[in-house]
Structure 1
Amino acid sequence: MSDFATSIDRLLNLVHHWAETRWSAPSGAGSRAEMVHTLVQRLAFLGAEAEQLPSRPVPRVHHLVLPDQIKVMAHDILAASPSEDLLARATAEVDRVRAALS
């Protein structure tokens, strides 16, 4: 398993069971949900880069759906056969957010 997939699994293990109050808790300049949504958007940008497609905004949905959005973005990145550099950047993004949420 790639470092990216491992990082995604670790993040999902941290957040998949969170209730609304945990998602709403402050983290930095916003809530934990805002931080993770920003990560989802960054992963979407990296996925578009890997697929050589234009980037698009990720819809903001209820924060309880964020773990599913993370899974979809990770799958899209891995399915695009990304470069090692892109995987390293994606892994760093995920690890940074996980560390901030821990």
Structure 2
Amino acid sequence: MTFASSVELLVRQISHWTPARWRGHADAVRALVQVLADAGADAEGLPRRGVPTLPDTALADQVRVLAADLMAAHPPPDVLERVEADVTALRHALRDS
């Protein structure tokens, strides 16, 4: 599976969640958001920065935007593979919880 398709599956999985569904899961998605931001900064040769904390219901959009930024930075294939593995692991963990 590609990075883009894994991200799209995750976004579809979480984009319709209610605030109640986010309880207990938002921190895991926020951690992935930071991984995406860090990988993007590294690929662009920029310093890493903390990602702003948005409301839980905005996390799907935040994942989508940061994933697009990462892909636009054209990181090495191993970076996309590593981050895709993180996305897939989170998708499965959220599905099983």
Q: What is the TM-score with the length of structure 2 in the denominator?
A: 0.94
- 1:58 paired to 2:80: no
Q: Partner of 1:37: helix, strand, or coil?
A: helix
Query: 1:81 Cα shift?
Result: 0.9
Q: In 2, distance between residues paired with 1:84 and 1:69?
A: 22
Q: Which residue of structure 1 aligns with residue 6 of structure 2?
A: 7
Would you identify which runs of 4 or more consecutive aligned residues in structure 1 move more than 2 Å? none
Give the paired residue count.
Answer: 95
Say whether 1:16 aligns with 2:28: no
- Give the % identical residues: 43
What per-residue deviation string (whole Å, max 9, x for no partner) do you get for residues 2-37 of structure 1? Answer: 70001001101111100000001xxxxxx2001100
Report the alpha carbon displacement of residue 61 of structure 1 after superposing the two structures with TM: 1.3
Paired position in structure 1 for 2:76: 83
What is residue 85 of structure 2 aligned with on the other side? 92
**SS of the residue 2:60 aligns to:** helix
Q: Aligned Cα RMSD in Å?
A: 0.9
Q: Quote how far apart the aligned CAs of 1:46 are.
A: 0.6
Gaps of 5+ in 1: 25-30
SS in 2 for 1:60: coil
In structure 1, C-alpha distance between the alignment counterparts of 2:54 and 2:11, rounded to whole Å: 17
